[in-house]
Structures are given as structure tokens and as C-alpha cells.
Structure 1
Amino acid sequence: MVRLRRRWALGLLAGGVSAVALGTTEPVLGRRRSGTLVRRQPPPVEVENRAAGTPWWPEDGRRATNDRHRQIQGYASTTSVAPGESIDFHVAVNPAGRYRISIHRLGWYDGAGARTVLTSPEFDGVPQQVPAVDPVTGAIACRWPVSWTVRVPDDWTSGLYQAVFTSADGWRACTPFVVRDDRRAAALCVVLPVTTWQAYNQWPRDRRVGKSLYNGYAATGRRDPRLRALEVSFDRPYADHGIPIQLTRDHDAIQWLERRGYDVSYATSFDLHSGRLDPTRHRGIVFCGHDEYWSWEMRRAAEQAVAAGTSLAFLGANSIYWHVRLGPADDGRPERLVACAKTTPDPGEDSAGPTVTWRVVGRPEQALLGVQYNGIVGSPQPLVVRAADHWFWAGAGVADGDRIPGVVGGEADGVHADVPRPSGVDAAVLSASPYRTRDGGHRVQNTHLYETPQGALVFASGTLCWTMALNRQGHRDERIERATGNLLDRITGRAGPSAGPAVPARG
């Protein structure tokens, strides 16, 4: 039987089991105190996905802006917003001309992938300058004027949204933001890794000025890691067309979760950092993409959630690798900077320690995840199944040693024998996949799962290609879909073909 935390069990007994609490996709019958049977409403995301969808971005990328000409680009004033709150968009158009902004919610929508929720009137746009680089930190922070302010309507469903900027002559760019649901606790909350998105953002990618936490540009126009920024700002567009480099991995997971009808809401790294997101209100927290850059506050919140019985599912790899410091803009607006020196001394070091890897500060990621980053995969490799009789693989039709093609790719995690692992838990290593690193080394990828005495499950897929196997055309694999469904059904308490008696996990 699926273990329910005490406060969840009491809530279900008091109010009747609901589709919202269990994450089911069909309305179920509950009972009023009078004994009358009433029909419960389905989760908001399921209702949202019944609406007609409209693709939000041309598949061929026609007329996509680039950073050399910056035909149209923009950024948002915040990474997340709740209904009733406002968000500003700052847009530059080169040359000056008319433009519109459309806002789209990304989801399943019967395969359309998005729904258009709002379109602005036409505005007059003008060029804006690329600001000077901060001589100490390398940060590039724009101070473009506000172009349009949107008060988020009460009926916008929590999700990942894209604001698309389209000029009169057809050039397009965009910027992402999240609409939270602070009023209602969904069974699962997906945390979008905006700190990692920004870490990789090298706007403007013009071979002259742009900087990320990885590279700057040498005088030759070549990228040079010695010239990288120590801080990056959210007060700037994402490079070129505005889609963050790693966002497609998150989008694959979002589409799959919504296609499967899970009761989900959405938040960002900053929400976890600030406390706007209380993980213990949810049955599980899903980190679906490349989630590499974590603040002390983020990690503390995740660890406290596990201790309280909330489950964590990491569907990517190389998670919780860099320790970062999050800070305000120069004018005091909160949560606009990500700082990561990556080496010592760290000029901004505070009581949380230097912004280097979590391993260097004595908190290796394996202590929470059960595995940790061990290499860049030279070319996609099969995931080799282990512990096939574990409930995680139930119904997937796999045996030990089966090879699931192309699932191990990008970056990979593995169990490090000399690094502390979570203690006092039931742990299982669910794959053991040999691969060759980009520099010719030999490593083994591991998918890992453990359960705490408090009933929390902590899952780490150990590969950046897991979400592609859930959703992406040409990569989907029913075995990975079934196993992931088993995991999330167990976390949410959702009845399904994968629900059944727990099988003791093996290390």
C-alpha cells in the first residue's frame, strides 16, 4: 500500500478522497458530512488541456531574431508571477517599428503544445543599447523602459508561459516566465531551473560583448572561459531568439505530465529559494530538466522537504552541482542576479561559503540525490536495466541487462563509492550503463531511487536524455514512460496499473 504522510491522510479522511489530492485524471465521488455523494472537480491542468491549442513557435524557426542584428528582443521583470500580480515586459526593436506581444501557455493541448492566452495591441518599438559590462563581475544588466505591463488574470492556470515579441515585418523572439498557484497545493509541483537557464545565457551572442557563467569573448571572437562572468543578470534577453538552451528538456517533461493528466502546478528556482514555494504542501517536487545551479536556501528547502516526507524527482542529471548566491539588481529589485565565482577566492563570499561546487564546500550532491555527476557523454548510449524486479520497472517488460537505446546522453550521474550516500534509507540502483566520456574516459551511469523512513521517495534519472524518452518524437520509449509513471503514481498516491505492493529496494 502506498504510504501517506500523516497530515495528508488526515486531510483525506476529513474531506473525502478527491481527484486533486490523489492526482487522478477523472472526477471521483466524495461524501459530504450529510452523507450525500458529490462529484469532485478534476485538477485545473486537466481542465486547461481540454482547451484548443495553438503552436506557439514556428517549427522551422522562420524569421527568428539573432544577436548580431537584434531585430526584436525582450525580457520580463520577474521569473514567476501569481494571478493578481503584474509582470512587465521590456522590448527593443531594431530598426524602430511596430510590434505585438502574444502570451502562450505551454502544455499538452492534444499535441498542439501550447495555447494563446493574450495578445497585446500594437506598440511602437525603438532600438535599445547593450549596456556596458560590469568591470568587476562581468554582469550585463539592461535598463530598458517598460513596454507593456500585464496583470495576470485569476483564470490563468499555473504553468510555463512564453511571451512572444513579433515585429511588423515578421521577426520573432520570446522570453519565458512561470505563473504560480499560491492558493492551491497540487499533488506535484514542477520547479523550472531558471538559475541554470541564465547561467548558460551568453546574451548578446555577438562574438564581442556577451558573457555567461561559462564564457566571454576574446578579441578574436572565440569563446574564452577565462573571460566568463562571475554574475549574470535576468535584466536582459536570452540569447538570439530567446529560448533558453536547456528549456526543451523541461518542455518534454511538461508535455508528458500534462498528457498523462497529473495534478501539477509550477514554480521556479527563485520560488524555492525565497520560500514562496513551500515544498511540504505537495506530495512531490519534480525537477524536470538540467538543474545545475542551486543556492544554499534551495538546498536547505529540498532537504527539509525530504525530512518531512515530501518526495523529489530529478528527471535530469548534473543536478545541484554549483553552489550559487542569488541577489538583487543594483536598484534593489530582488532576485535578479545569479553569482557563481567557480573558483576561490570568491569576492562576494558570505556565511554560506564560496560559490564553487557543492563538493568543494563539503556538501556533495550525492548526499541528497544518491548519485552525482560523473561525465559528459560522448555519444548517446543505451540505458542498461538493473533491479528489473523492483516496483519502479513493474509492467515495463524489462529484464536485468536489457538495453534501452539512446537514454544515456548529454551528461550523466553515477554512484561514487567514496562519497557519502543517504543513510538509513531503502536504496535501489536501477541502471548500470557504461559510457565513454567526451574526453575518452570510461564511466558508468546509474539511475537511483531511495525511500526514507518518513515515506519520501528521492529519484535521480542520472541522464539528461530521460525526458526526451518520455515525450520527444523519435526518442519516446514506452519502458521509460511506464517506469516514470510508476514513480509518480507512487508519489501522488494515484491509482493505476503500476500501483501495487512495494517491493523491497536493493542497494
Structure 2
Amino acid sequence: MPISRRNLLRAAGIAGTAMSAATATEAMANERPLPKPAGQAPASAAGPAFDPQQQFLQLVGGGDGVIYGIRADGALRWYRHADWQTVGPTWASGSGRVIGGGFNQFIGIFGGADGSLYCLRADGTLRRYRYVCSDIETGAGSWVNAGGVQIGTGFDRFPRVFGFNGHIYGVTAGGDLYAYQFNPVTGTWINSSGTRIGNFKSYQLYADDSGVIYAVRHGDIYWHQYTASGWTPGSGYQIGSGFAELMHVGLIAAGQGAIYGVKPGLSTASWPGDMVQYRLVNWRTAGPDQSRSWAGGGLERIVGTGWTIQRNAALQGYTRTNSVRPGDTVHVATSSTFASFTATVVRVAPGAAGPAEVAPPMTVNGGVQPVPIGFVHTGCGWADTIQTRIPTTFASGMYAVRLDGPYGMRRYVPFVVRPTAPSNSIAFIFPTNTYHAYNTYGNHSQYCSDLTGTRTLSLHRPSTEMNVEATGYLEHTLYSDILLTRWMTSEKISFDSYNDTDLHLISDWSTYDAVVLGSHPEYWSEAMRQHMITYVASGGRLIYSGGNGVYERVSFSADRSQIDFRTSTGTRDTYEARGLPASQLLGVNYIEDSWFTFAPYTVAKMHPLLAGTGLSVGDQFGQSGYNGGASGWEVDSLLGLEGEATALQVIARGTNPGGGAAMVFLEKPNGGFVFSASSIAFNGALATDAVASTILRNVFTLARDRN
């Protein structure tokens, strides 16, 4: 069926695929006063009210085809997809109607079929609003409670909260899923304390009515249902696949089996993307039926265009100086739809707990800075809004500028403070190239299928991968490395901090007894690789705590604001393909057969590094951790390539199907050595597994013993 351009444009609520800043400001000026949640700060008078390429913070389903769009400036727009049952192109004529304002203060909003909106603030308070639509064609209606009613507190203990129609779910930092139920008719909670119903750490989760939950992992989607009787038989049934491309922006479960997603536009064009829809007809019974009935044969249908989503568009930023020395100035560029916010420098590592404030907060004026076309490659180009000098008394470590919005909303802009001169015997290198490779800000990482040839990505954009606080998901980037540095701090192991750019530039590391690589040091320039080979050959001790290391070659731009990934033909530019396998440095190489499996290690031979563990050959350790079994996600083993460890140098092996991690210890000339844990998941087990902790403690003891 041909798609009506009129209806597509109405669905997005904009004129064409992008709106100019002047047009956006004019549109805001013409909107009539509307109900606003209490306590909202006025919008900034300077600059556009929102960036059309980052229009919505979130899209929220309301049942019967209703979708609410929470715009970055706080405006609440009402849409209704008239063809929601048949996956057609028609939208109600009033779609795009503005019905409220001030909703950018919330970090999460969940809909209900009766017009309810359950709105969560970062401080853990949950408020309920209700819009009664009197005309489903125009969206006309009225608010039952324009100021909202607070119905709950304490939800800030969950890094993730989602829900629909009064079913509210929270996911803890450890991935445990708790279910709550609010009765919108009586206005009371059926179970206000919540019920733990499982662990879903490796899944993105979306709620439908009747206790239905869609769990998505790596693009595969599974049906679950939890009721007062527990999990419905058939929960976990796979109902689809191929949703990976939509996960960068996020799916929208809109009720009654209607599932929407926004496909990212080309990275070299304006950001607006197409909205696609699927509808699971037997959404209440798919699991017990062991069948999936998709409307329209399950084919992807474009039902709208011009949609742009960026969850943090109300408050976001990046640093143009990701590694500095004491005495240098950190330059941070921000964009915010709030009139003002505060910024505070915090130390992330070393530290045994959460970020610690190390400077007083400063007030920053808000203002939107739009992203230019092609910013994924060339950078956002925003002007500095924060410039702060790092005191000469600051110790080396990982720091961040914390941006604080209303009601406890927090965003972090991390950066490394490297030492003016080495001050500790241990150097820790944060694998920032990997963080940037997986950064999906702008809906594109180096893994996106629409990118061709050499993939140039800018470091001058906000990051989705530099999480300073627990997210409730599995972690392989910055937060996993924070878990390692917290363990080091608790063990009183002092260290100097660097990032991949520093390793690229600094050739001499000989003053350090040991250099530590983090959880996922995958992407290396040729200079980085050579500097570490020289260090180990001269007697350096290399402690490789992660997995899939030194795997792919990258190159920096002259000013190091961009990284080039892949060859000119778009193929992975692996060191192994160049005849330079990772084993030449690490003693192990990445294996694919056990990808995304998690398992314990089994002791392969007795070794001095096992001292104090009480283990014998055949015993297991690392059964669980933050990311699951300590041998997991991506692991390295023995493939018979140059420089690999011998069987006698293998301390333990992961028990993963397909082959697990090979934990190895290799003595090198001049008193050097290489220890490889060979698993991304290893660092996540340090806080909970005494054996893994003891082994790594023994490694550090040996590294600092120069006699």
C-alpha cells in the first residue's frame, strides 16, 4: 500500500524531515499555555527551544494507537496511529497536538490505556498524570490532574524502570527484576513493596498490558508474562529477531501488541529516521500458544518519518580534552533545554565507592546547541560552556564533570588526569578507543551496517558507553573498568591513570613496575601496540585483566579528535590478518565460538599465583560476578599462533561451551612477565569471588616485587 506523505509528515509533527531552529522557536511561540508538571524551571530564552535532530526524549505508548512524544524542551505531544491494528500508514488528523509542557524533568515516562502517564524523576519519586481525550481524531481533551499526583517513592534504587498500564518494573544494578502494580481505578498500589521475579541483566525490557514483557537481546525478542500466579508457561518464547538496528534508539511497546521502532538515518545526512511498526496479534498468549501471529505477515512497515530521539537531549555534554595533566584546563561543551544546571568535578577513580566531589558546584546557563549534519564523523562542534582548571594538587585518576539537572537528574562527562610525571609504580590504561567504537550516540557506532569503507568516528560527541554509575545492564566498557579500579583501591594498589590516546603518544613506560589493561582493550593503533611490546621486552610486567584485546588496528587523526576504524573496503582491520596476532603481546588470541556465554574457570595446573586460594587442579572458581561467570562475553584462548602460551603456562580454563578463556602467565626476558585473564567478564567477579580476587592480588604482588 502506498504511504501517504501527508500522513507521514503529520505523524512526525514537523514540516519536512527537519525543522530549522528559527521555525522551531516560532512554533513554540505559537503554542498556547498548557498544563505543566509542578516545579519545572522556565525554558531558556536564548537559542532554539530544542534541536530538531534530537526532538524527542522518549516516545510513550498509550494503547489504541496513542503515542505520546516527550520533546526535549518538555512539550508533550499527542499522536494517534489510526492503523495500529493493521500496520497501515494512516494517522489521526490531530497527531502532533501539544497537550502539556515541562515533561523534560522526568527520566522515564510510562503510559496507560486510560490516558495515565506515570512519570519518574531521578530522585525516585513517581507521579501520575491523566489526560482524557474527548476526540480521538483531533486529540482534544483535558487533564484530570494537571499538576500530577505523587504515587510512589524509592524508585531511584533501580537504574532501569519501565512499565505500562500500572504495571511498573524496576531493574537493580545486579539485574534483578522487581514487579509493582498500581490500580489506576482505585488509585492505590496492589503491591507497593514490589516482588522480585527474575534476573534480566542482559536484556532490554519493554512492558505491554496484562503483565506481558518483551525482552530483547542482540536483536532477538522474547515473550514473557508475569501475573499474580507467577510466570505464565511459555515465558521466554522467542517471537522475533532482527531488531538490532532499532535498539540504538529503542523500541516502543505501545500496548495491545503494537511495537514501534525508529530506524536511524544515514550518518552523513540529517538525523531524522523512519518509524516502523510491528504488531503481535496474539500478544496475550504467544508463549502458551508457542506461536507468533504478526499482523501483515510480520514484515517491517514504515508508518512515519521525521522522528528523532535522543534520551539525554535535555542535558548532555562531552569534553574536548579527554586527557589532561594537573594544571591544565578541561573544556566541556554542553547542550541543555533547562534554563540552568550545575556542574561539579568528581573523582571516579581511584575510589572504592561512587564518584566523590572534589570541587564545589558551579551554575551553568542552559541553551541548546544543535548537532550538524555528519556530526557522527566530524563532531558536534559545540562551543565550550564549562572550562575548569585542574588543580596541581589533584592526583592522577579518572574524573568527570557531573551535570546536575532537576530532581537529581545526573549526566557525567568523564576525562583522565594523567600524572605530570610518574608518581606510582602501577599505570592503568583506560581503553577509551573501545568506548568510542561502541558509542551509539547519534544512532551510529563503528558496527552500523549502513557505514561503508573506513569508518571515521568523532570523539567530540556525548557517549553512551562512559557510564560512571551502574546501569542494570551487563557492562564491558567504562563501568566494567571502574569495577576493576574500585577493587584496586580497596586492595590499596595505587596507580597512575592514562587512556589510549596517552598510550599512543607516550613511548617510554619503563618507570612503571606494571601496566594494567582494562576489561576490553580491543582497538589499538600501531604506535600503542609497539610501545607495549617494547615495554615488555625491556622487563615490563603487563597485567591484562580483560578479553578480546589488541584485536583491531585503528588510526588517529592528526589532532586525535577522530578515530578511523576498518579498511577502505569496510572489512575488520585485525592485527591477526596482518600477521601480528595479539598473542605476540598477550600470549592469547580472541576466539569466537564461546561468544556471549558465561561460565566459571577450572584450575588447569598448580601455580604460585594460586597461593592462598585453597584450590587444586580441577576445582572451579568465578562462578558469578557483575557480568555473570568470570569466563565470559568475549574471551581469548589458544589458536596455535605466534607467541601463544604453551599448555604448561595455562593456569586455568573457562568451561564455556565452544571453549573458554585461557588464563595464562608467561615469563619474559629481563624480569618481565605477562598475565592474561583473557575474559571481559573477569573484572566483574573481583568484588564477589574470593579466588579471582586472590589470584589478581598475587599478580600485583609479584609485579611490584623487583627482587
- Establish whether TM, by shorter chain, passes 0.5: yes
Residue identity matched to 2:381? R
The alignment status of 1:327 with 2:539, answered yes or no, reads no
SS in 2 for 1:190: strand
Structure 1 Cα separation of the partners of residues 380 and 492 of structure 2 = 40
| 2:436 and 2:465 in contact (8 A); partners too | no
Q: Tell me the residue number matched to 1:43.
A: none
Indicate the SS of the match to 2:357.
strand
Aligned pair count reads 394
- Judge which range, 300-309 or 239-248, deviates more: 239-248
CA shift digits 1:272-326 (9 cap, x unpaired): 1011x73111000001221100000000000000111111111000000010001
- Asked if structure 1 preserves the Cα contact closer than 8 Å seen for 2:353 and 2:486, the reply is no
- Give the Cα–Cα distance (whole angstroms) in 2 for the partners of residues 319 and 60 of structure 1: 32
Q: Which residue of 2 aligns with 1:268?
A: 499
Match of 2:604 in 1: 386
The C-alpha deviation readout for 1:120-141, integer Å capped at 9, x for no partner, is 421211111122116xxx6151
Asked whether the equivalents of residues 195 and 294 of structure 1 are also in contact (C-alpha less than 8 Å), the reply is yes
- Cα separation, 1, equivalents of 2:365 and 2:161: 19
Instruction: Report the CA distance shift for 1:322/1:480 in structure 2 as closer, same or farther (over 3 A).
Output: same
Q: 1:392-433: per-residue Cα shift (whole Å, max 9, x none)?
A: 11111111111111211111110112x11269x996101122
Task: Please tell me whether residue 85 in structure 1 is matched to residue 328 in structure 2.
Answer: yes
CA contact (8 A) 2:346 2:356 kept: yes
* Alpha-carbon offset, residue 327 of structure 1: 1.2
Change (3 A) 1:229 1:144: farther
User: Quick check: 2:633–2:681 contact (8 Å CA) kept in 1?
Assistant: yes
Alignment match, 2:425: 187
Q: CA deviation at 1:183?
A: 2.1
Cα 1:287–1:427 shift into 2, 3 Å? farther
Contact 2:632 2:660 in 1 (8 A): no
2:492 partner letter: G
Matches within 5 A, 1:467-478: 467-471=683-687, 476-478=688-690
Q: Name the SS of the counterpart of 2:487 in structure 1.
A: helix
Aligned equivalents of 1:303 and 1:408: distance in 2?
Answer: 26
Contact residue 180 and residue 265 of structure 1 kept, 8 A: yes
The answer (yes or no) to whether the contact 1:308–1:454 under 8 Å persists in 2 is yes
Aligned equivalent of 1:27: none
Whole-Å separation in 2 of the counterparts to 1:77 and 1:467: 29
Does the alignment pair 1:292 with 2:522? yes
Match of 2:681 in 1: 465
Are the structure 2 counterparts of residues 237 and 443 from structure 1 closer, same or farther at C-alpha, using a change threshold of 3 Å? Answer: same
Give 2:385's match in structure 1, choosing from 144, 147, 150.
147
Q: Which residue of 1 aligns with 2:586?
A: 369
Change (3 A) 1:68 1:184: closer
1:480 maps to which of 671, 692, 699: 692
Distance 1:234 1:421 in 2: 33
Query: Structure 1: which 5+ residue stretches go unaligned?
Result: 1-57, 205-209, 216-223, 329-333, 347-353, 437-441, 496-507
**TM-score normalised by L of structure 1:** 0.72
Q: Aligned equivalents of 1:454 and 1:147: distance in 2? A: 49
Q: Distance in 2 between matches of 1:444 and 1:242?
A: 27
Who is 1:339 aligned against? 564
User: Relative to 1, partners in 2 of residues 1:270 and 1:195: Cα closer, same or farther, differing over 3 Å?
Assistant: same
Q: 2:546 aligns with which of 306, 309, 316?
A: 316
State the alpha-carbon separation in 1 of the partners of residues 396 and 159 from structure 2: 27
Secondary structure of the corresponding residue to residue 411 of structure 2: strand
Relative to 1, partners in 2 of residues 1:308 and 1:59: Cα closer, same or farther, differing over 3 Å? farther
1:69 CA displacement: 5.5
The code of the aligned residue for 1:310 comes to: G
In 1, the alpha carbon distance for the partners of 2:581 and 2:455 equals 22
Q: Which residue of 1 aligns with 2:444?
A: 211
Are positions 1:119 and 2:360 aligned together?
yes
- Structure 1 window deviating more from structure 2 (398-407 vs 111-120): it is 111-120
The worse-fitting range, judged by mean Cα deviation, of 481-490 and 162-171 is 162-171
Amino acid at match of 1:198: H
Q: Is the 8 A contact 2:456 2:565 kept in 1?
A: yes
State which of 206, 230, 237 in structure 1 corresponds to 2:455: 230
Q: Determine if contact 1:200/1:212 at 8 Å carries over to the other structure.
A: yes
Given that residues 427 and 451 in structure 1 are in contact (C-alpha distance below 8 angstroms), is that contact kept between their aligned partners in structure 2? Answer: no
Identify if the C-alpha distance between structure 1 residues 144 and 108 changes in structure 2 by more than 3 Å, giving closer, same or farther. closer
Distance 2:647 2:589 in 1: 18
Query: Where does the alignment leave 5 or more consecutive residues of structure 2 unmatched?
Result: 1-155, 163-248, 250-308, 469-474, 624-628
Question: What's the Cα RMSD here?
Answer: 2.7
| TM-score when normalising by structure 2 | 0.53
Instruction: Please say if residues 214 and 228 of structure 1, whose CA atoms lie closer than 8 Å, have aligned partners that are also in contact.
Output: no
Alignment of 1:25-44 (within 5 A): none
**Mapped partners of 1:378, 1:211: distance in 2:** 22
Query: Of the two, which has the highest radius of gyration?
Result: 2
2:464 alignment counterpart:
239
* Counterpart Cα distance in 2 of 1:76 and 1:322: 25
Q: CA deviation at 1:76?
A: 0.6
Assess, with a 3 A threshold, how the Cα gap between structure 1 residues 69 and 492 changes in structure 2: closer, same or farther.
Answer: closer
The alpha carbon displacement at 1:227 in A equals 6.2
Q: Aligned residues: percent identity? A: 25
Change (3 A) 1:322 1:447: same
Q: What is the correspondence of 1:350-429 to structure 2 with a 5 Å cutoff? A: 356-375=573-592, 376-388=594-606, 390-404=607-621, 405=623, 406-417=629-640, 419-421=641-643, 428-429=649-650
Structure 2 counterpart of 1:126, one-letter code: G
Range with greater deviation from structure 2 (162-171 or 124-133): 162-171
Q: Deviations over 1:437-457 (max 9, x none)?
A: xxxxx2242111101121111
CA contact (8 A) 2:551 2:575 kept: yes
Query: Is residue 339–residue 355 contact of structure 1 (8 Å, CA) maintained in 2?
Result: no
* Contact residue 98 and residue 124 of structure 1 kept, 8 A: yes
Cα offset, 1:229, TM superposition: 7.4
